[in-house]
Structure 1
Amino acid sequence: MGFVVFLLVLVGLNVWMTQRVLSAGPTLDHKGLLVAGIWVVPLMGALIARNQLRARTPLVDSEMPPPPPAAPAPATVDAAEVPALALGTCLRNANGWPVLEWPLVEGWLAGINDVQQRQHARLACHRAWLMHLRDAMGPYATLHETEDAFVLSTLEPGVLKATAAFIARSRRRIDQVLGALASPPAGAKSILVVFDDEADYYPYTAAYDADDGEAAFSGGMFVDAGCPHFVTRRDDLSRIEPVIVHELTHAALAHLQLPLWLDEGIAVNTEHRLTGAQRTEHTPQQMHRLHQDFWGDTEIQQFWAGTSFRRPDDGNKLSYDLARIIVEQLAKTWDPFAAFVASARRSDAGAQAAHEALGIDLGALVCALLHRDATPAWSPRPDTLPPPVTAA
Structure 2
Amino acid sequence: MLRWLTSRFLPTSAADTLPPPTIAATQLAVAHGEPLALASVMQDANGLPVFNWPAISEWVLHLPDPEEQGKAWSMAERAWFDHMSLALGPDFRVREHGSALLLSNLEPVVAKAMLDYIHKSAQRILQVLEGVAEVPPWGHDLVIVFQDKESYYRYVAHYYLDEGEYAESSGMYIQGGCGHFVTMADSLQALEPVIAHELTHAYVQHLPLPTWLNEGLAVNTEQRLSPAAGARPNLPRMHARHQAFWNAERIQSFWNGQSFLQTGPPNELSYDLARMLVGYLAADWKAFRPFALQAQQQDAGAQAANDCLDIALGALVCALLDREPSPDWEPTPASWTSVE
TM-score (norm 1): 0.79
Task: Return the match for 1:147 from 68, 87, 98.
Answer: 98
Deviations 1:273-317 (A, max 9, x none): 011244458411111111111111121000000000001121001
1:176 — aligned with what?
A: 127
Unaligned runs of at least 5 residues, structure 1: 1-66
**5+ residue gaps in structure 2?**
1-17
Match of 1:94 in 2: 45
Residue 209 of structure 2 is aligned to residue 294 of structure 1: no
Given candidates 250, 261, 277, the residue that maps to 1:310 is 261
Aligned counterpart in structure 2 of residue 116 of structure 1, from 55, 67, 92: 67
Number of residue equivalences: 322
1:1-392 aligned within 5 A: 69-70=20-21, 72-210=23-161, 212-280=163-231, 282-386=233-337
State the alpha-carbon separation in 1 of the partners of residues 196 and 32 from structure 2. Answer: 37
Query: SS at 1:180's partner residue?
Result: coil
The answer to whether the 8 Å contact 1:305/1:387 transfers is no
What's the RMSD between the two structures over aligned residues?
A: 1.8
For residues 229 and 76 of structure 2, the distance between their equivalents in structure 1, rounded to whole angstroms, comes to 36
Moved more, 128-137 or 72-81: 72-81
Q: Secondary structure at the match of 1:256?
A: coil
Residues of 1 paired with 2:189 and 2:20: CA distance? Answer: 29
Of stretches 111-120 and 79-88 in structure 1, the one that deviates more from structure 2 is: 79-88
Q: How far apart are 1:71 and its partner, in Å?
A: 5.0
Amino acid at match of 2:208: Q
Q: 4+ runs of 1 displaced by more than 3 Å?
A: 67-71, 277-282
What is the percentage of aligned positions where both structures have the same residue?
A: 44
**Cα-to-partner distance string for 1:56-80 (whole Å, 9 max, x where unaligned):** xxxxxxxxxxx97545311111113
Q: Which amino acid aligns with 2:95?
A: H
Q: Which moved more, 1:121-130 or 1:94-103?
A: 94-103
Whether the 8 Å contact between 1:220 and 1:231 is mirrored in structure 2 is: yes
How far did 1:225 drift?
1.1
Q: Which amino acid aligns with 1:336?
A: A
CA contact (8 A) 1:171 1:248 kept: yes
CA displacement, residues 325-376 of structure 1 (integer Å, 9 cap, x when unaligned): 0001111111111111111111110001111111111001001111111111
Secondary structure in structure 1 of the residue aligned to 2:143: strand
**Residue in 2 aligned with 1:60?**
none
CA contact (8 A) 1:195 1:232 kept: yes
